[in-house]
Amino acid sequence: DVKVTQSSRYLVKRTGEKVFLECVQDMDHENMFWYRQDPGLGLRLIYFSYDVKMKEKGDIPEGYSVSREKKERFSLILESASTNQTSMYLCASSAKAGTLEAFFGQGTRLTVV
Amino acid sequence: RKEVEQDPGPFNVPEGATVAFNCTYSNSASQSFFWYRQDCRKEPKLLMSVYSSGNEDGRFTAQLNRASQYISLLIRDSKLSDSATYLCVVNTSWGKLQFGAGTQVVVTP
C-alpha cells in the first residue's frame, strides 16, 4: 500500500524557533513536494524536488528551505518560525513517469505562537 | 495571475442533479491535468486524470480545452457522498504539480 508519512500531525512552536517537518515515502518516487494549505487559498507550492539533492522553488519559498539527501525523505525547514507560517503543511510524492498521480501525507497542522 | 484558477463555490446541488464547473490555467506548455477530491480535514486524493479527448469515470466526466486553456468536471446523478472540495491540478513542467484553490460542492437531500 502506497504510503507518505509526515512526522507529526500537530505541532506548536514559538516565534523564532527553527522548525523541521519531515516527510518519508516508500514508493521510490522521484518527485516530492511541500505545500501549505490555508482557507480560501488552496494548496500553494513551497518547494518541489525532482531528484535527490535537486530542488526548485515553488510559489511561496520565502522563509522556508528544504533538504533532500535521500530519495525517500524530503524535509521542510522553517529557519525562524513566524506567526504567518501557522498553517496546514502537506507533503506529496509522485513518480516522474506514468500517471504522475501525487500521493499525500496526512498533513501537519503547525501553530506558531 | 495565479497559474490555476477555480470558482470557489459553493455549488449547492440537489441530490440526483448534475453539476459542472471549470478550471483555467495560464501556462500553455502544461502537459497533464487532473482532478483531485479533498474531504474536510483530509488529504487530497486523485479523482481522475483528464485526457485530451475527454474521459468518463462512472458519473464523472472530465474535459480539456487546450485552445481556451480550461478543464471541466461534470458530476451526474449527484450523491450526498459527492460533497467535497474538488481541486484542479496542472502539471506545468518536470512533474511540478500546481493546484487550484478548489471548488466546494455541497449535495443536499
The closest of B98, B101, B109 to B85, measured between CA atoms, is B101
pLDDT tens, residue by residue, A89-100: 999 999 887 777
Tell me the C-alpha to C-alpha distance, in Å, between residue A56 and each of A28, A61, A106, B6, B102.
19, 9, 23, 25, 24
B14 within 8 A of B106, measured Cβ to Cβ: no
Interface test with A, best of B97, B98, B103, B104 (most A CBs within 10 A): B97
> In this predicted structure, what is the pLDDT of residue A44?
93
Which member of A35, A90, A100 has the closest CB to residue B32?
A100
State the Cα–Cα distance between residues B72 and B51, nearest whole angstrom: 11
Q: pLDDT (tens digit, 9 = 90+) per residue, A32-46?
A: 999 999 988 889 999
Q: Please, which residues bridge with residue B84 across strands?
A: B105
Question: What would the grid cell of residue B54 be?
Answer: 475527454
pLDDT band at A69 (very low <50, low <70, confident <90, very high): very high
Contact B45 A43 (CB under 8 A): no
Min Cα separation A104/chain B (Å): 6
Instruction: List, for chain B, all residue ranges whose pLDDT scores fall below the cut of 70.
Output: 1
Query: What does residue A83 show for φ and ψ, rounded to 5 degrees?
Result: -60, -30
Contact A56 B96 (CB under 8 A): yes
Q: Do A102 and B98 touch (CB under 8 A)?
A: no
pLDDT at position A2 is 67
Substitution target in A100, A103, A106 with the highest count of B β-carbons within 10 Å is A100
DSSP 8-state code for residue B74: E
Report strand pairing: A87-94 vs A108-112: antiparallel
Q: Find the CB nearest A99 among B36, B49, B96.
A: B49
